[in-house]
Amino acid sequence: MSPQFWLEMAANATLVTAVFLAARNKSVSWLFGIAGCALFAVFFFQIKLYADVTLQFFFILTNMIGWLQWQRGGEAQTVLPISRVRPLWHLLLYFPVALLTAWGYSELLRRFTDASFPMLDSMILTFSVVAQLLLMRRKLETWAFWLIANTVAVPLYFTKGAYITSFVYAVFWLNAFYGAWQWRRQLQAQSEGTAEVKTICFVGAESSGKSTLALRLAADLETVSVEEYGRTLWVERGGKLDFEDYLHIAETHIKMEDAAKKNANRFVFVDTTPLTTLFYSDEHMGKIDPKLLDLSNRSYDYTFLCNPDFPMVQDGWRGDESFRQAQHEWYVRELEARGVNYISLTGTFEDKVALIKKTISDS
């Protein structure tokens, strides 16, 4: 048998391993993918499918990135959660863009190379690129684009005499259905399991480290955090809010928390709560919406009170040191009056991080 036959055999065996591992959510699939793509780049060059050669180099690069994104480096870590493309109307753009790009690339191949079936070859390239990018972010819609790419690939490879590759891609076509079914099941399980995700909130005065702690803990534990929406709106409006805005802030913040739980890995770290919004409504407006008062009773699995035990950082939007201290004392009184079982954070930043990790790991 010819060397080209053995090259095709080796490339397909390696890629089959990678694809089946991907459908079963194994991060090592990316390493097999890198090796398989390198072999296929040589093989497709030999049979003059140059768009497929370009595709293999893209796959090698994205497999490296995908490996880094999926790999967590420890037994206690997990891969990225499965999710959907949001907003869904983006999908309506992906199809025509992929087709238009395929046409443009095929014209280049026609003009400057002796490529075989340049349009079909280019369609495999563009739809596979979209599918691979979605796969890297573990989007459910990745399998729809793999189905399109494989539907074009099977007859093209058969026509070129690459019978083994054509057969393998027919198997990939079936595997894409399996992958879609399996990922949809896991996505549903993730949604049902959001009740098991623990919410950890940080409250405290201005410049007490809440945002920094939320971001740091989310990064260390490979999960998500929720930013303080009230501050975002405050800055956008130049520090001028209406009374109705405070209820809107609390409701939006809660929606952000609920959305974050769907993509969380065990924990969601929340920068401030509706209790903070209640404080500023009373401070700036002198009154509190009854609905906001009700939302301020929202409970969390852990509440950490950040002490202002380090020099204040002034960003142009905050009050002075006396305001910070008064706000901290308000939190202490309010939390105790509400019977909230909170944990006070003091010491260095690393001391606080260590205490939080220990507290939540013991749960």
For residue 96, cis peptide bond before it (omega within 30 degrees of 0): no
Which residue is listed with tokens 């480096």? Answer: 73
Quote the pLDDT of residue 54. 87
- Could you give the count of Cα atoms lying within 13 Å of 86 in the half-sphere of its Cβ? 6
**CB-CB neighbours of 337 under 10 Å:** 8
Percent helix, strand, coil in the chain (nearest 5)?
65, 5, 25
Helix runs in 262-301, H state only = 274-285, 290-295
Residue 323 has pLDDT above 50, yes or no: yes
Mean pLDDT value of segment 31-60: 86
Paired strand residues for 265? 267
Concatenate the DSSP letters of all residues of 212-242 into one string.
HHHHHHHHHTT-EEE--HHHHHHHHTTT---
* Cβ neighbourhood burial of 233 (10 Å; 0-12, 13-18, 19+): middle
Confidence of residue 324 (pLDDT cuts 50, 70, 90): confident
Whole-number Å distance between alpha carbons of 225 and 360: 15
pLDDT tens across 155-177, in order? 998 998 889 889 988 988 998 99
Name the token pair of 185.
């099941």
From its phi and psi, is residue 313 left (phi > 0), alpha (psi between -120 and 50) or beta? beta
- pLDDT above 90: percentage of residues in the chain: 33
Among candidate residues 268, 273, 271, 272, the one with its CA nearest the CA of residue 221: 268
Strand ranges, E, within the chain: 198-204, 224-226, 267-271, 302-306, 342-345
Pairwise CA distance, residues 120 & 59, whole Å: 18
- The Cα 232–Cα 298 span in angstroms is 21
Predicted confidence (pLDDT) at residue 195 exceeds the cutoff of 60: no
**Percent of the chain scoring above 70 in pLDDT:** 89
What is the structure's pLDDT at 314?
61
User: Which amino acid, one-letter code, is at 164?
Assistant: I
Give the model confidence (pLDDT) of 276-317 as tens digits: 999 989 988 999 999 999 999 999 999 999 998 877 666 555
Domains (range + CATH), the chain: 3-191 (no CATH), 197-361 (3.40.50.300)
